[in-house]
With several copies, the nearest count.
Chain A
Amino acid sequence: MKKITAIIKPFKLDEVKEALGSIGVQGMTVTEAKGFGRQKGHKEIYRGAEYLVDLLPKTKVETVVVSEMVDKVIEKIVSAARTGTIGDGKIFVTPIEKVVRIRTSERDRDAL
Chain B
Amino acid sequence: MNAADTAWVLASSALVLLMTPGLAMFYGGMTRSKNVLSTMMHSFFLMALASLVWLFWGFSLSFATGNWFIGGLDFLGLTGVGAEVWPKSTIPASTFMIFQAMFAIITPALISGAFAERMKFSSFIVFMILWLTFVYAPVCHWVWGGGWLGGMGALDFAGGTVVHINSGVAALACALVIGRRKGYGVVPMMPHNLTLTLLGAGLLWFGWFGFNAGSALAANASASMAFVVTHMATAAAAISWVLVEWIIKGKPTTLGIASGAVAGLVAITPAAGFVGPISAVILGAVAGVVCYLAVLAKAGLGYDDSLDVVGIHGVGGTWGAIATGLFACKAIGGTDGLFFGNAGQVVTQIVAVGATIVYSFVVSLIILYVVKAVMGLRVTEEDEVVGVDTSEHGETAYNL
What is the interface of chain A, defined by CB distance below 8 A to chain B?
11, 14, 42-51, 53, 85
**Shortest CB–CB separation between residue A17 and chain B, in angstroms?**
11
Chain A CB within 10 Å — which of B248, B292, B394 has the most?
A: B394
Return chain B residues, CB-CB under 8 Å to A85.
382
Q: Which B residue's beta carbon lies closest to that of A53?
A: B396
Q: Which A residue's beta carbon lies closest to that of B292?
A: A48
B48 contacts A by Cβ under 8 Å: no
- Cβ < 8 Å to A, chain B residues 352-400: 382, 385-386, 390-391, 394-396
Return chain B residues, CB-CB under 8 Å to A14.
186-188
B259 contacts A by Cβ under 8 Å: yes
Given A14-B188, A45-B395, the answer on whether A50 and B390 have CB atoms closer than 8 Å is no
CB-defined A-B contacts under 8 Å, sample of 21: A11-B385, A14-B187, A14-B188, A42-B390, A43-B394, A44-B390, A44-B394, A45-B250, A45-B394, A46-B30, A46-B253, A46-B255, A47-B255, A47-B259, A47-B295, A47-B308, A48-B245, A48-B292, A48-B296, A49-B189, A51-B188
A50 to B188: give the CA distance in the assembly, Å: 9
Given A11-B183, A42-B386, the answer on whether A48 and B249 have CB atoms closer than 8 Å is yes
Q: Give me the 10 closest cross-chain CB pairs, A-B, nearest first.
A: A48-B296, A45-B394, A51-B188, A45-B249, A47-B295, A44-B394, A42-B390, A46-B255, A48-B295, A46-B191
A46 to B395: give the CA distance in the assembly, Å: 7
B251 contacts A by Cβ under 8 Å: yes
The answer to whether A45 touches B245 (Cβ under 8 A) is yes
Return chain B residues, CB-CB under 8 Å to A44.
190, 390, 394-396
B71 contacts A by Cβ under 8 Å: no
The answer to whether A50 touches B190 (Cβ under 8 A) is no
**Shortest CB–CB separation between residue B191 and chain A, in angstroms?**
6
A46-B255, A50-B249 given; name 13 further pairs at CB < 8 Å. Answer: A11-B385, A14-B188, A42-B386, A45-B245, A45-B251, A45-B253, A46-B30, A46-B253, A47-B256, A48-B249, A48-B296, A49-B189, A49-B299
Q: Which A residue's beta carbon lies closest to that of B391?
A: A42
Which of A11, A46, A47, A48 has a CB less than 8 Å from the CB of B187?
A11
Q: Binary interface profile of B, 287-321, with partner A (CB < 8 Å = 1, else 0)? A: 00000100110010000000010000000000000
**Shortest CB–CB separation between residue B171 and chain A, in angstroms?**
15
A48 to B189: give the CA distance in the assembly, Å: 12
Return chain A residues, CB-CB under 8 Å to B255.
46-47
Q: Which B residue's beta carbon lies closest to that of A32?
A: B400
A45 to B391: give the CA distance in the assembly, Å: 12
Q: Binary interface profile of B, 31-53, with partner A (CB < 8 Å = 1, else 0)? A: 00000000000000000000000
Return chain A residues, CB-CB under 8 Å to B308.
47
Q: Which B residue's beta carbon lies closest to that of A13?
A: B187
Return chain B residues, CB-CB under 8 Å to A45.
245, 249-251, 253, 394-395
The answer to whether B190 touches A48 (Cβ under 8 A) is no
Return chain A residues, CB-CB under 8 Å to B382.
85
A47 to B295: give the CA distance in the assembly, Å: 7
A42 to B390: give the CA distance in the assembly, Å: 8
A50 to B255: give the CA distance in the assembly, Å: 13
A43 to B295: give the CA distance in the assembly, Å: 19
A50 to B382: give the CA distance in the assembly, Å: 22
Return chain B residues, CB-CB under 8 Å to A11.
183, 187, 385
**Shortest CB–CB separation between residue B276 and chain A, in angstroms?**
31
A46 to B295: give the CA distance in the assembly, Å: 11
**Shortest CB–CB separation between residue A35 and chain B, in angstroms?**
14
The answer to whether A51 touches B295 (Cβ under 8 A) is no
A32 to B385: give the CA distance in the assembly, Å: 17
A42 to B385: give the CA distance in the assembly, Å: 14
**Shortest CB–CB separation between residue A57 and chain B, in angstroms?**
8
Return chain A residues, CB-CB under 8 Å to B395.
44-46
A46 to B249: give the CA distance in the assembly, Å: 10
A49 to B184: give the CA distance in the assembly, Å: 11
Q: Binary interface profile of B, 73-93, with partner A (CB < 8 Å = 1, else 0)? A: 000000000000000000000
A43 to B190: give the CA distance in the assembly, Å: 12
**Shortest CB–CB separation between residue B380 and chain A, in angstroms?**
12
Return chain B residues, CB-CB under 8 Å to A47.
255-256, 259, 295, 308
The answer to whether B245 touches A46 (Cβ under 8 A) is no
Q: Which B residue's beta carbon lies closest to that of A41?
A: B390
**Shortest CB–CB separation between residue A14 and chain B, in angstroms?**
6
Q: Which A residue's beta carbon lies closest to that of B400?
A: A32
Return chain B residues, CB-CB under 8 Å to A43.
250, 394
**Shortest CB–CB separation between residue A49 and chain B, in angstroms?**
7
